[in-house]
Amino acid sequence: MKINCLLLFAFITLNVIAQKENIDTRVENLLNQMTLEEKVGQLNQYNDDGIATGPVTPDGDKEGQIRRGELGSMLNVIGVERVRQFQDIAMQSRLRIPLIFGQDVIHGYKTTFPIPLGEAASWDLKAMKLSARIAATEAAAGGVHWTFAPMIDIGRDPRWGRVMEGAGEDTYLGSLIAKARVEGFMGNGLGNTDAVMTCAKHFVAYGAVEGGRDYNSVDMSDRMLWETYLPPFKAAVDAGVSTFMNAFNDLNGIPATGSSYLQRDILKGKWNFEGFVVSDWGSVGQMIKHGYVKDGKEAAYAAITAGCDMDMESRSYKNNLVELVKEGRVNIALIDDAVRRILYKKFEMGLFDDPYKFCDIQREHDAFNNPEHTKASREIASKSIVLLKNENNLLPISPDVKTIAFIGPMVKEYKPNLGFWAIELPEVNYDKFIVSQWDGVQNRISKGTKLLYAKGCDIDGDNKDGFAEAVSVARQADIVIMSIGERWDMSGEAKSRSDIHIPGVQEELVKAIQATGKPIVVMINAGRPLVFNWIADNVPSILYTWWLGNEAGNAIADILFGDVNPSGKLPMTFPREVGQIPIYYNHFNTGHPAATDSTLFYTTAYIDLKTSPKFAFGHGLSYTEFEYSDIKLSKGKMKNTESTEVSFVIKNIGKYTGDEVVQLYLRDRVGSVVRPVKELKDFKKIRLNPNESKVIRFTITNDKLCFYNQKLEYKSEPGEFDVMIGSASDDIRLEGEFELIH
């Protein structure tokens, strides 16, 4: 058996090597035929004239440029027919180099999944991989070759609207999610007609923009960069990500697009990345606005020398690179390297063998009408919902309830359930395709249950005219479900908010309904952590429902009525007030730690606000209860060449089957640089039936103890470590310790 495995491994390896050599040869042969103008053409990407995800440069003659081989790629070209039109023109060019088509397939193509931050709350890597797999299958069937995903920016500031697009605040969780999403999108590898190229973005530290203001500056130590923000990108490289997208922000004074430290030293050098780097929309030309270069020509020079291979939409490369090469300022070798990287991907995708490979109408129809995709969307959506509170076990709603009032501005909405970065396909009737929250609950309630509705108010604005009707409807019910939150387009790109309270008069609506004395369940729809202290303190049951995709209504009903037991855990810390930001669980202790909310004097505490978050990273409840016991470590002392195992027992002591995300946190008590009070180092999502218990084991290896020291060496240091097993970062159930010996 072992021999067979070895032979199979050898065969596959040799096959991959042979394919690479074959493509390398084809790339060289083509490169040798290309003129300088055609080479520069491959480095340009333009948007189609339809949907734009950035400021469009009107320049009319796209088709002529394609026909002359002056364009290598396009984005936001929707549908097989449209893709075919542009590819037809590319086939009229001298060398018939196919275009490659990119699209922001961030959380689904036709089938829409929860926003990525919502999916991250599932802590279900398999589910996130499946979601990406389905998105790729549909996108590739729809003519898309390349998704600008996964977005893997660590985000610790909920004022930043793009936290909705990533995996939250934790580097360990974010790195695993990056891997899962890259593998999901790429399936069995490029060249398959259900696989798309991937794009790790935004390189790098875009999530650390000052003030949470999109596109703003970022300034941090190299140690913080290496420790917190780079690892998910290295995980994406290790997972085989096809391309990188650099970032709008400047980092320590250098725009990411013009940073050779990032793109050449780290990415293409240290990490030996062989794919290509695309700029973000216009970010090459935007270096003029940064004040980093004086004009488009210098922008092109700075970007190409820094390792940015493709210019999305700025025209800097198109207008300047030929001249820069002719005048000897840019070595043709740099151009050739960028062109090789891009051509390699086009060969790998099989586009030279068949430029219309992804333009199959029947395949598009089949992929867009697969019930398995809808089923998966519903399952992943229900796993993403986080039960923040459930006093008196008000949830799940009993089937005997006679009358339910369903109140709030989100109840009967359709498209907002998709959230930001959802794809708009012209042939889809979204009001039919999306299950609204009202539809979902209506479809699920028992025969004898009456469902009443009132909108109550809008998401924003100060109009309370609808309050009276809402209160009257609530009075007629046995229980009230409310669905409120921010508007779907209050988070996403260029959607930073200085105030992340629930907008408008929605919280006042909740107070008015609460005053009726009826039991209330509040659901909050959002693309980021919001502030809602009154609701959090006074409402018995709260669900965080993010933006759940086209199966939102069914997923919400599954949770409300207990068909699915909630299992989501927060991937980001929820602050009590904006003033607490930045706030994250894996902070340093400082010399004046505010160990509890009441230790104020001479500590890092605020004098006017509790120090703890409103809801902690990793927080999420269940309809059942889990008991943790019997922690054991296999070694009290561990050499850095060994590992130690921590085991414990978890038991379901409630009456519902449930999934629990058990979390392993470690603390390095003393280091050559200060170390966080705790760091997530492993987790498992465990399903247990009532009264069932399991022994869970985590293996602690030396690499889980490593960190970047002052010299940026990634290594562990001898000393004592705390071991914490928790249901959340602020809900540690079991503790242990061990000593690392070098």
Indicate which residues carry an active-site annotation: 280
Least gap, CB of 165 to ligand GLC (angstroms): 8
Contacts of 15 (CB under 8 A, 6+ apart): none
666: Cβ–Cβ under 8 A, 6 or more apart, which residues?
Answer: 678, 679, 681, 700, 704, 705, 721, 722, 723, 724
Angle at 203 between CA 43 and CA 24, to 5 degrees: 45
How many angstroms separate the CA atoms of 359 and 350, rounded? 13
Cα 539 → chain centroid: 30
Closest CB to ligand GLC among residues 83, 638: 83
Strands 719-728 and 658-668, by their bridges, are: antiparallel
- If the CB atoms of residues 236 and 387 are measured against ligand GLC, the closer one turns out to be 236
CB-based contacts of 140, cutoff 8 Å, min separation 6: 193, 194, 195, 196, 358, 367
Q: Which of residues 126-155 bind ligand GLC (CB under 6 A)?
A: 148
Beta carbon nearer to ligand GLC, 491 or 506? 491
Query: Residue 637 belongs to what H/E stretch?
Result: strand 637-639
Task: Tell me how far, at minimum, the Cβ of 314 lies from ligand GLC, in Å.
Answer: 12
Neighbours of 258 (CB within 10 A): 28
Select 46 or 623, whichever has its Cβ closest to ligand GLC: 46
Q: Work out whether 53 is an interface residue with ligand GLC (CB under 6 A).
A: yes
- Of 460-489, binders to ligand GLC (CB under 6 A) are none
Q: Which of residues 183-222 bind ligand GLC (CB under 6 A)?
A: 201
Provide the sign of the torsion angle of the four alpha carbons 50, 55, 59, 61, taken in this order.
Answer: negative
Residue at token pair 């997530």 = 680
Question: By Cβ distance, which residue is nearest to ligand GLC?
Answer: 53
101 vs 359: CA distance, rounded Å:
11
Nearest approach in angstroms of CB 110 to ligand GLC is 18
Q: Does 280 bind ligand GLC (CB under 6 A)?
A: yes
Which residues sit opposite 680 in a β-bridge? 665
DSSP strands (E only) in 569-636? 626-633
Provide the β-strand partners of residue 417: none
CB 106, min distance to ligand GLC, A = 8
Cβ distance to ligand GLC smaller for residue 54 or 593: 54
Task: Tell me which residue has tokens 């490169």.
Answer: 31
SS (H, E, C) 206-266: HHHCHHHCCCCCECCCHHHHHHHHCHHHHHHHHCCCCEEEECCCEECCEEHHHCHHHHHHH
Total residues at interface with ligand GLC (CB under 6 A): 9
Residue pair 47/53 in contact (Cβ under 8 Å)? The answer is yes
Round to whole Å and give the CA distance between 651 and 657.
11
Segments in 385-481 forming alpha helices (H): 430-433, 437-444, 467-475
> Which residue in 724, 373, 379 sits closest to 567, CA to CA?
379
Q: What are phi and psi of 544, to 5 degrees?
A: -100, 115
Closer to ligand GLC by Cβ: residue 124 or 280: 280
For residue 308, report the phi and psi dihedrals to the nearest 5 degrees.
-85, 115
CB-wise, 148 or 244, nearer to ligand GLC?
A: 148
Phi-psi region of 231 (alpha: psi -120 to 50; beta: other; left: phi over 0): alpha
Q: Is the dihedral of CA 536, 444, 394, 406 positive or negative?
A: positive
Q: What whole-number distance in Å separates Cα of residue 113 and Cα of residue 106?
A: 9
DSSP state of 275: S
613 to 642, contacts with ligand GLC by CB under 6 A?
A: none
- Binders of ligand GLC among 325-384, rule CB under 6 A? none
- Tell me which of 48, 153, 311, 493 binds ligand GLC, using CB under 6 A: 493
Tell me which residues in 61-100 interact with ligand GLC (CB under 6 A): 75
* Phi, psi values for residue 511, rounded to 5°: -60, -40
Q: Tell whether residue 181 is a contact of ligand GLC (CB under 6 A).
A: no
Q: Nearest CA to 254 among 222, 297, 281?
A: 222
Considering all CA atoms of the chain, what is the largest pairwise distance in Å, rounded to the nearest integer? 81
How far apart (Å, rounded) are the C-alpha atoms in residues 518 and 476? 9
Binding residues (CB under 6 A) for ligand GLC: these are 53-54, 75, 104, 148, 201, 280-281, 493
